[in-house]
Chains A and B, each alone.
Chain A
Amino acid sequence: MTLAQILLFAEGDADGPSGLTLELATKARTLADTVTAFAPAHGEAMAAELGAHGVSTVYALEGLGDGLAGVHAAAALAGHIDATSPDAVFFGQTTDGRDTAARLAVLADRPVSTNNVGAEVVDGGIVTEEPIFGGTQNIFTAYRAPAPALAMFRPKSFEAEPSGGGAAAVESVAAVDPGEAGRAAVTGRHAGERSGPQLDDAAGVVSGGRGLGQPEAYSMVDELAGLLGAASGASRAIVDAGWVPYAKQVGQTGKVVKPNVYIACGISGATQHLVGMKGSKNIVAINKDPEAPIFGVADLGIVGDVHKVMPALIEALKSR
């Protein structure tokens, strides 16, 4: 049994939809006869790929300008869901996804189901799956408020696969003035430098944590990642400490990665971190504490000092 329509909160840029948006489109089309999308920006640019992943129509918000996506998208979405009656609205667990779902929840007086990694249709309603307690348990929750169910999903919960469809139709949606609540304005956008493999889609990830001892030691992580053609990542501890930017954070509040190989260097393995990487196919851990939780998920664990093991490993790889 499937739902009639799922509406997707579609995010992306001038190059097309985000990977997470396509993951959600792929999942949504297994749950509903029709998948539509609402785009706060770049609707036109995303239409081809969204269509290729099963979306029939993209509703493109006009005139977001320098406004923050959340409050403006929610104002327009409130009317849009009244007019089009989707059974569920799916959001990615992103900054704008969270803002929009939260604002819409207030406007429509509906709960939001968050941090999900799975969804199914049971008795005509949505049941979502959320990992809890550091991913040791999963809780399945049925949405009991009136449709549409508002549900948010973590990245990498589903695999994006094209359906072979043509470009989605694009329909404009007029902006709705959110009043005083909409007065925050973006005055500048700053993108971090993106060089080398990206955490999201790298086949290998090398991450460093507090066990590195000092910020300068992170260069070993970069060097090892470079030698393996891998992306470099970090635990929350050293991001909070300001050693590396947030964009490198792997974990519950950072990126979720599922590479072929994950090498954790000086990371103890707090649940916060494990949630973001334990889906990796192969895990190597180097840590001096034999009791560190990271060894519980490692395929190969080295109990040792990162300052000895990493330089030796780097030398060995260089001499090959």
Chain B
Amino acid sequence: MKVVVCVKQIPDPAIPGELVPETGTLNRDDKLILDESDSYGVEMALQLAEAAGGGQVSLVSMAPRSETSGLRTALAMGADDAVLISDDALAGSDALGTAKVLGAAISELEADLVLAGVESSDGYTGTVPEMIAGVMGLPSITFAKQIEISDGVASVQRQTEAGYDQVECALPAVVSVTAGVVEPRYPSFKGIMAAKKKPVDSKDLAALGIDAAAVGVAGARQETVEVTDAPEREAGEIITDEGDAHANIVEFLTELKVI
């Protein structure tokens, strides 16, 4: 079985983000790391390949400056190889532009199953996996909280507003997985060393036959007109508990006539 996993390399969420003033898009100039949301997709792919008695797990990522830090993390977890699409014309791409690029790259890999996180931790549009399926003409099951593969059919528990739906689909298909669906493994020292030698196939837009006008800021066809500071909520009273702080809460709730 061949599983392709989409992974995004994002600015470290621990460092406050900033916008590129000209475009209103996220500044990605610093080092990028593997989006934690995608570590679940990588782990799921590894587990499904193992359950199938072996298989290939390939990564696909689109990132500026041929960034591979995040890819190496996923390779160290156990993925076999990676395709990296990097091109200056991709800066400022929106979800649809990203899906066109990833879809084109994945189409060359003949995957049985395409996995992705439900949404990235920086843009969190939650639309790219479904768009990739659209671009590739594949069926998709989003918001998966459990996946089993048997006889070429994926059985998925798909999270819904009310609970979950059991969904079945013959492969190939695109499936997006929710955070927490599996416990991502930590790369071992051996894995980290091995990852350095694993193949990363770098491509630009021309190699995928995509017109630069369809992607990037121009392709996104949206214009940032204003960025404002949200009104800050005023901090209230802070009390250190000396054994009776619960009384302050009771008083507060009484004033609000909640009790």
Contacts and interface: CB of A to CB of B under 8 A. Distances in A.
Interface of A: 18, 68, 70-71, 74, 93-95, 98-99, 101-103, 105-107, 109-115, 122, 127, 131-133, 135-145, 179-192, 203-204, 228, 236, 239-242, 246-247, 252-253, 260-261, 263, 278, 282-284, 286, 290, 295-305, 308-309, 312-313, 316-317, 320
Given A112-B95, A127-B225, A317 B135 contact: no
A305 B241 CA distance: 8
A189 B179 contact: no
B249 A138 contact: no
B236 A309 contact: no
Interface stretch (B1-9, B73-81, B164-172, B200-208): B164-172
A309 B165 CA distance: 39
A135 to B, nearest CB: 6
B159 A246 contact: yes
Contact of A188 (B24, B127, B165, B178): B165
B7 to A, nearest CB: 18
Given A141-B223, A304-B245, A102 B127 contact: yes
Given A138-B228, A228-B259, A253-B124, A304 B241 contact: yes
Interface in B1-32: 16-17, 19, 24
Contact of A135 (B162, B220, B230, B256): B230
B236 A299 contact: yes
B142 A133 contact: no
Nearest to B238: A301
B213 interface: no
Q: Which of A102, A103, A298, A313 has the most CB of B within 10 A?
A: A102
Interface residues of B, number: 79
Contacts, number: 257
B211 interface: no
Contact of A111 (B141, B180, B222): B222
A203 B253 CA distance: 12
Interface in B205-259: 220-230, 232-233, 235-241, 243-250, 252-253, 256, 258-259
B233 A278 contact: yes
A302 B248 contact: yes
A261 B244 CA distance: 21
Given A144-B222, A192-B162, A236 B179 contact: yes
B165 A190 contact: yes
A224 B259 CA distance: 12
Contact of B130 (A99, A252, A290, A303): A99
Given A187-B166, A240-B180, 4 more contacts: A110-B221, A135-B230, A140-B224, A186-B166
A71 B139 contact: yes
A145 to B, nearest CB: 4
B127 A142 contact: no
Contact of B235 (A188, A192, A236, A297): A297
A306 B160 CA distance: 32
Contact of A184 (B126, B160, B173, B258): B173
A295 B235 contact: yes
A189 B241 contact: no
A132 B143 CA distance: 23
A68 B167 contact: yes
Given A184-B169, A228-B253, A303 B221 contact: no
Nearest to A284: B249
B125 interface: yes
B161 interface: yes
Nearest to A185: B168
6 closest A-B pairs by CB:
A304-B241, A240-B180, A106-B134, A102-B130, A299-B236, A184-B169
Given A99-B130, A114-B95, A308-B243, A316 B250 contact: yes
Contacts of A308: 241, 243
A113 to B, nearest CB: 7
Nearest to A274: B233
A190 B163 contact: yes
A78 to B, nearest CB: 11
Interface in B183-215: none
A181 B139 contact: yes
B133 interface: yes
Given A260-B258, A301-B237, A136 B230 contact: yes
